[in-house]
Structure 1
Amino acid sequence: MSEDAREVLARVEREEAELVLPRFDVTDAWTLGSRMREAAASAGLPVVIGITLGEARVFHAALPGSSADNDGWLDRKARVARRYGRSSYGVGLSFRAVEKDFDTAARLDPQKYAAHGGVFPITIAGVGVVGTVGVSGLPQAEDHAFVVEHLREFLATLD
């Protein structure tokens, strides 16, 4: 693993530790999702945005240029974030850090699981993972960065 890749993994691990919320409910999902949709629309990003609580989809938006394929990717990345309790990007990077291919080493159906950037677990302090927030439609590092930016901004409003 290159030094740059190690630095990216370390940054993602710091983000995962940082982005723990004091609370999160369906009203919060609407607030966060709406802010993300507004930002994506303003930037002309061809993404889908999804937020879940448990297995329930509590927010979904598809912007121009996105497709059903993006919904499929979003679902696959969300399964990874729920299963591992960390960002889908972080999971993929962790496998690559030990020179393993997620699709074979995880022994999970690659039609259902994708360790690519873009979905972050919604973690509540003292509770654990209660859902996911994610996007699909950009290169994986950009999907991840978009979610982190908006989750960080949302967290700042809860303090």
Structure 2
Amino acid sequence: MFEAATILSLIDEEERELAFPHFDLEDAWILGSALRESARERGLPVVIGISLGEARVFHTALPGSSADNDEWLERKARVARRYGRSSYGVGMLFRSRDQDFDTHSRLDPSVFAAAGGVFPILIAGVGMVGTVGVSGLPQADDHALVVEHLRAHLASRR
């Protein structure tokens, strides 16, 4: 099993790699729809959400997911928005320092969750403009599903 610093290094690379030249509502629909179809085909019990700024522009729930997954998704998205990086990256940053996010961030854990699954939508030369996230799987799997589809969407734009 990887230690937190090793995982954090991989996440840092993903965050550098996955910046778009632009991202709009059409991109949100295409990315969200691809995530949904992939999750449906795999029988994954997840919710998927994409936001641009403060606007929720895509949301779906698949069989087996629940309102709890929606709440986790929002808590993880708040972490990504606050820190400007993936919720998994934030969690691993704290773990790599032998700190517990819930204690050391001094943020309300009922509002913020540094668990994997929400990734910033990054525009090259601009920064973060939104988030894309999944909730319903173990955190590493939530994160990996989002990264897989961000990579595919970015590759389709080249």
C-alpha distance in 1, partners of 2:55/2:2?
Answer: 39
Give the residue type in structure 2 aligned to 1:142. D
Q: For the structure 1 residues 140 and 3, does the alpha-carbon distance in structure 2 shift closer, same or farther, using more than 3 Å as the test?
A: closer
Mapped partners of 2:20, 2:79: distance in 1: 20
Output the TM-score relative to the length of structure 2. Answer: 0.97
Partner of 1:118: 117
Identical pairs, percent: 69
| Preserved contact between residue 4 and residue 95 of structure 2 (Cα < 8 Å) | no
Segments of 5+ residues of structure 2 without an aligned counterpart are none
* 1:65 counterpart SS class: coil
Matches within 5 A, 1:1-159: 4-159=3-158
Q: Note the C-alpha offset of 1:3.
A: 6.0
Contact (CA 8 Å) 2:51, 2:132: kept in 1 or not? yes
- Whole-angstrom CA distance in 1 between matches of 2:2 and 2:20: 31
CA deviation digits over 1:40-66, x for unaligned, max 9?
000000000000000100000100000
Deviations 1:92-146 (A, max 9, x none): 0000111111111111111110000000000101111000000000000000000
RMSD of the TM alignment (CA)? 1.0
How many residues matched? 158
Deviation >6 Å, runs of 4+: none
